[in-house]
A and B are shown apart, each in its own frame.
Chain A
Amino acid sequence: MIHRSRDIALFDPAILRPAAVSAVAKLDPRQLLRNPVIFVTAAAAALCTVLLVREVVTGAGPVAVPAQIVAWLWFTVLFANFAEAIAEGRGKAQADSLRRTRSETPAKKLATADALAWDMVPAPSLRVGDHVLVETGDLIPGDGDVVSGIATVDESAVTGESAPVIRESGGDRSAVTGGTRVVSDRIVVRITADPGTGFLDRMIALVEGAKRQKTPNEIALTILLVGMTLIFLLVVVTLPAFAGYMGVTVPVVFLCALLVTLIPTTIGGLLSAIGIAGMDRLVRFNVIAKSGRAVEAAGDIDVLLLDKTGTITLGNRQAAEFLPVSGVAERALAETAMLSSLADDTPEGKSIVALARERFALDTAAPAGMNFIPFTAQTRMSGADLPDGTRLRKGAPDSILARAGAHSVTRELTLAVERVAKAGGTPLVVSRNDRVLGVVHLKDIVKPGIRERFNTLRGMGIRTVMITGDNRLTAAAIAAEAGVDDFLAEATPERKLELIRGFQAEGRLVAMCGDGSNDAPALAQADVGVAMNTGTQAAREAGNMVDLESDPTKLIEVVMIGKQLLMSRGALTTFSIANDVAKYFAIIPALFVAALPQLAPLNVMGLSSPESAILSAIIFNALIIVALIPLALKGVAYRPAGAAALLRRNLLVYGLGGLVVPFVGIKAIDLLVTLLGLA
């Protein structure tokens, strides 16, 4: 059972209160400098404050409206800080729940992997290459690889998955995560991460936002926003010269108000919140990204490589039918197949036994004295020798036929094998004393609903490629049934790597998921490599994300989160820039109308007075940041669709909306300001 308990309410008071405090603390100029747009806002606010104090001291002019403007300038900065603080607070809450799992764990350190005696040391003292013994009931002290032993491990602290999982040395299930608990047996773990560099530590650092580095798109966007800020700075700084030429003087406070409303404070204030919230969403999906860059790259993915088994098909192939050659009874084939599978613990073997019992009610007890022949990669067959010396075998067609000799390769058999393969199944040939009896059809079961998901991906412009060790015929049949765009049959690690490089040479961005050590090169080569948490440490190191739930279809969610991250930035940027039209129409007539009454027609909103117009615009500008915090945290709704449809929709909502909303908003605030007699 997967439980995602780490959902946090959007406006949890436990986060809001510290965030409000942190918003004030973030007024530290060194912190503000990280965000150029907000820094300029704060500088304008500081300048106005000084001027206001001077006005108050000298009693030179009316201060009621300027004082309100100064207050709202500061609110603008505080609201932006607040947005970032909320996002960080939510990240911290996630991080704390993760951190609880790694209290001071004692570790049983071994001198060598084979040593019997151990020293009790604190977990933070462990270094890469140290060996530790972990026994029933112990917490695993750090990320590592099982070097000997097998154990069941409760990883619910990290994954939320309550059923314990098997971890054993060798093979593809050797990686263990610090903070998880061994439920039974004992293992020796070689530590692979220094304290503070393990997966949990990285995840904590990322969601807290402390070590967050700006992603490439975020950097580019920041540059654009700085450029816009410079342009508007130029507009405002030169305005007194032009206005002076016309005999109009504009108070500095009003100029600052104009500047702050024009520069893109909305997106500037929410930019880092969007980034932090994106990481946060990913973690709530139980995926750890090693960098924000990887998440962003996920949105750009063109090709998705998916392992067939466990992703597209249910992990287990099931025996579906017995196909005897002529002269052999189906029951005889079933019996031989069953006897050769009795000791076969694989799901395939069990399904043969089950099918034989179901069809012919055969006795499934093993006869005494039977000698089992296990499957090996060399022979590619398994079976049993009966006490009388009868050899029962089942296995890959070419292996069995190689033993049986050329005479047994009949046209009938070839047809049966091909028929199974074409239907997407795996043919197993069964022989008795090297005489071929027939074929068992092992059927791959395509996961329900997977076809629809691939259709969705295609609509998003993403090609899906199925990777399988099956032969071409089988792969083609399953590919057609599942609805993938392409497939790679008889895949080896080298061919996978070659495939990824080929796509990348065409300029495509490739995502893949994998778990085995042999996936590590491909995971490292892929632009987005999602390693399964159950996989090997090598795979987990090679990928740039780790899926704690080990669900390969999670890639689809990861891609969507990446896209959502980019869309949220784009939508709020567009909204922010479109807002400027209305703000101009509010402020420009207000600045000049006293000296040039003929400019009154430009006051299209019919705002009640120049002071009220400027105040309303600056209030709107500040409040819109707060109003959009939920959108920044949740992300712009993403419905999988082609780029053209997405653009049309988002442009309508955020572009046109950005043009219209401030006209309505500023007018409404103006009515309120007038009603309350604030200006």
Chain B
Amino acid sequence: MDAAGLLQILVFLALLVALTPLLGGFMARALSGERTLLTPALGPAERGLCRLCGIRPDEEQHWTGYALSLLAFNLLGFLLLYAILRAQAWLPLNPAGLPAVPADLAFNTAVSFMTNTNWQAYGGETTLSHFSQMAGLTVQNFLSSATGIAVLAALVRGFARRSSPTIGNFHSDLIRIVLYVLLPLALVSALVLVWQGVPQTLLAHVDATTVEGGRQVIAQGPVASQVAIKQLGSNGGGFFSINSAHPYENPTPVSNLVEMLFILMIAAALTDSFGRMVGDRRQGWALFAAMAVVLVAGIAVAWWAEAQPNPAFAALGVDPAGGNLEGKEMRFGVVNSALWAVATTAASNGSVNAMHDSFMPLGGLVALVNMLLGEVIFGGVGTGLYGMLLFVIVTVFIAGLMVGRTPEYLGKKIEAREVTLAVLAVLVTPVGVLGLGSLAAVLPVGLASVQDGGPHGLTEILYAYASATGNNGSAFGGYGANTLYQNSVLGLAMLIGRFLVIIPALAVAGSLAAKRAVPASAGTFPTHGALFVGLLVGVILIVGGLTFFPVLALGPVAEQLLLGTGTLF
């Protein structure tokens, strides 16, 4: 841990804070259907698309209608992607002549990209054709992240509106988000990556002769376009199997920094969009602060953990000053690997530039905890904030009673219906990780995937199920996930982690939108100060985190303590 490392972290955080109001203001206008900088250029396209699809943006939907539209649209996206993967051998743009994807893997991959998880049970360049990557995965990269932002927009409207029966129009929201937010940002980001040396080509692989005279096949393709949206849209599914550790995905320190910003910036900026849309920007910054507190704590722990050398190596005489370099790209080193690991797990992104499997147990613990908290530390685009708002409802209900009034948030009374829905959503992570994860820890068919023994193996199981349920897609490494059982059950975990939170969130939106708003007074529970931020963090850590204390004690904590005694896994 040195000054240079600290400086890099501070620069990253400062840029993130600076981007939040800029992007936040723009997205607030775009989500509200107001005129933006891009309206002159994109307005005709928006109207044209709406006319083409028969969408009338002013025809707003009740929450049930919104949810049904969303589910139908996602089902179609899933079926289309599944069909593409199964048929890729006969589809164009398959220069490497890859065969069709097997049924269970195609199911897992289609679910994974529809749910914005982007879990990679497949090996990118060795399994998928260019067509599958571009027309299949990249399209879902846009649509799944737009779906997340649309749910958030609906929930924010629930808070902002008074006595309204509707929460917006899903189709119009989706078009607007893709057109005004995701496409322009992806375009600019892809160009930045190309400038840094990321390839963007439709040519097949390059055959190269190495210095030693060996023959090497270097895969390439439309990398920049997919990497841009994979980072922006908290997707994370890489073009290459080793993801952002590959020099074609992440060639330079600059590309590393901007990609880390891409990972978090939309999710962070949405807090400010939220504040603007509910008419009190302090509320948005309070949520930003709560997320930032946990993020910074995570960065500190992970950096500290990784800056320690592995005692087993130190005993062999390896220079301890380098820290834990196993599984890390030397181009990025300890600081940028730790920082990336925290950012990508916090943001439900899942792209990696180092192998989390090789992190020190406590470093891996941070990544795991970020996912176990329900992906609300910034989280995925839209998903993180609506998950956070559901936690806010729980927090306001627990502590709000302490000021002697029916709890309310932003003037909306939090009553039995909202509490029920928020609790249902909070239950999803424990069900996915502990429920489905425990099966993987006892059934022989699940145990077959585990690579390492002891607590490290347990961490692999937990990590896989946390990643799937949290729709993160981050892989710990070492877990053989491409089996019939894992493809199916992890697919199920992704589905419940996605839709059993989306449906309650939309139901809350509908319930809140229909309510009158109570004007604030001196008796109103304040939700914009440091006290509330601390309270929210406390509830997230206790309600979200304590649930997993026993398994974390058995997994990463036990491993760290065993490491002290020289036992490795």
Contact = CB atoms under 8 A, between A and B. Distances in A.
Interface string A456-475: 00111111000000000000
Contacts of B402: 567, 570-571, 574, 646-647, 650-651, 654
B406 A566 contact: yes
A564 interface: yes
A570 B399 CA distance: 6
A296 interface: yes
B442 A241 contact: yes
B553 A223 contact: no
A564 B402 CA distance: 9
A220 B419 contact: yes
B565 interface: yes
Nearest to A584: B549
A242 B554 contact: yes
A578 interface: yes
B397 A643 contact: no
Interface stretch (B50-58, B176-184, B322-330, B521-529): B521-529
B546 interface: yes
A231 B404 contact: no
Main secondary structure of the interface of B (DSSP, over half): helix
Contact of B404 (A220, A562, A578): A562
B416 interface: yes
B437 interface: yes
Given A223-B419, A578-B542, A601-B561, A238 B405 contact: no
A562 B416 CA distance: 18
A598 interface: yes
A235 B434 contact: yes
A651 to B, nearest CB: 7
A588 B404 contact: no
Interface string A68-93: 00000000000000000000000000
The residue in B403, B430, B526, B531 that gathers the most chain A C-beta atoms within 10 A of its C-beta is B403
B312 to A, nearest CB: 15
Nearest to A503: B519
B564 interface: yes
Interface string A554-590: 0000000011101101110110011011001000110
B411 interface: yes
Interface in B405-422: 405-406, 411, 414-416, 419-420
Nearest to B419: A220
B399 A588 contact: no
A570 B401 contact: yes
Contacts of B550: 235, 239, 242, 584, 588, 591
Interface in A200-252: 216-217, 219-221, 223-224, 226-228, 230-232, 234-235, 238-239, 241-246, 248
Contacts of B529: 644
B363 interface: no
B398 A462 contact: no
Contacts of B191: none
Interface in A440-460: 458-460
Contact of A566 (B404, B457, B565): B404
Contacts of B546: 580-581, 584
A243 B419 contact: no
A642 B522 contact: yes
- Residue of B406, B430, B454 with highest tally of chain A CB at under 10 A: B406
Contacts of B497: none
A62 interface: no
A241 B420 contact: no
Contacts of B91: none
Interface residues of A, number: 73
A352 B435 CA distance: 84
A214 to B, nearest CB: 10
Nearest to A236: B550
B415 A216 contact: yes
Contact of A238 (B438, B517, B531): B438
B17 interface: no
B525 A227 contact: no
Contact of A577 (B398, B414, B438, B526): B398
B441 interface: yes
A299 B402 CA distance: 11
B158 to A, nearest CB: 15
Contact of A567 (B404, B457, B564): B404
A345 interface: no
Contacts of B401: 217, 221, 566-567, 569-571, 573
A591 B558 CA distance: 13
Interface of A, secondary structure class, is helix
Contact of B553 (A232, A563, A574, A592): A592
Contacts of B553: 588-589, 592, 599, 602
Given A228-B543, A651-B399, A242 B551 contact: yes
Contact of A245 (B398, B424, B457): B457
B540 to A, nearest CB: 12
Interface string B433-477: 011011101100001000000110110010000000000000000
A350 interface: no
A300 interface: yes
B516 interface: yes
A508 interface: yes
Interface string B495-538: 00000000000000000000011110111111001010001001
Contacts of B542: 577-578, 580-581
A602 B557 contact: yes
Nearest to A577: B542
A648 interface: yes
Contact of A564 (B404, B447, B525): B404
Contacts of A584: 546, 549-550
Nearest to B411: A507
Interface in B371-416: 394, 397-406, 411, 414-416
A224 B458 contact: no
A670 B548 CA distance: 25
Contacts of A570: 398-403
A361 to B, nearest CB: 54
A234 B516 CA distance: 37
Residue from A245, A571, A638, A647 having most chain B Cβ neighbours under 10 A:
A245
B278 interface: no
B404 A234 contact: no
A115 B531 CA distance: 71
Q: Which of B399, B523, B526 has the most CB of A within 10 A?
A: B523
A460 B458 contact: no
A523 B405 CA distance: 21
B415 A574 contact: no
A676 to B, nearest CB: 29
B427 interface: yes
A566 B519 CA distance: 20
B38 interface: no
A596 interface: yes
A592 B552 CA distance: 12
Contacts of A234: 427, 430-431, 434-435, 547
30 contacts: A217-B406, A224-B394, A224-B397, A224-B398, A227-B424, A235-B430, A235-B434, A235-B547, A238-B434, A242-B458, A245-B441, A300-B406, A459-B522, A460-B523, A462-B521, A507-B517, A563-B405, A566-B405, A570-B399, A577-B398, A591-B550, A592-B554, A596-B562, A598-B558, A598-B565, A643-B403, A643-B523, A643-B524, A647-B531, A655-B399
The 3 lowest CB-CB distance pairs between A and B, nearest first, are: A461-B523, A570-B401, A563-B404
Given A227-B424, A300-B405, A642-B522, 14 more contacts: A223-B419, A235-B547, A239-B551, A242-B441, A245-B447, A246-B455, A460-B522, A461-B522, A507-B516, A588-B550, A591-B550, A596-B558, A647-B403, A650-B402
Interface of A: 216-217, 219-221, 223-224, 226-228, 230-232, 234-235, 238-239, 241-246, 248, 296, 299-300, 302, 458-463, 506-509, 562-564, 566-567, 569-571, 573-574, 577-578, 580-581, 584, 588-589, 591-592, 596, 598-599, 601-602, 638, 642-644, 646-648, 650-651, 654-655
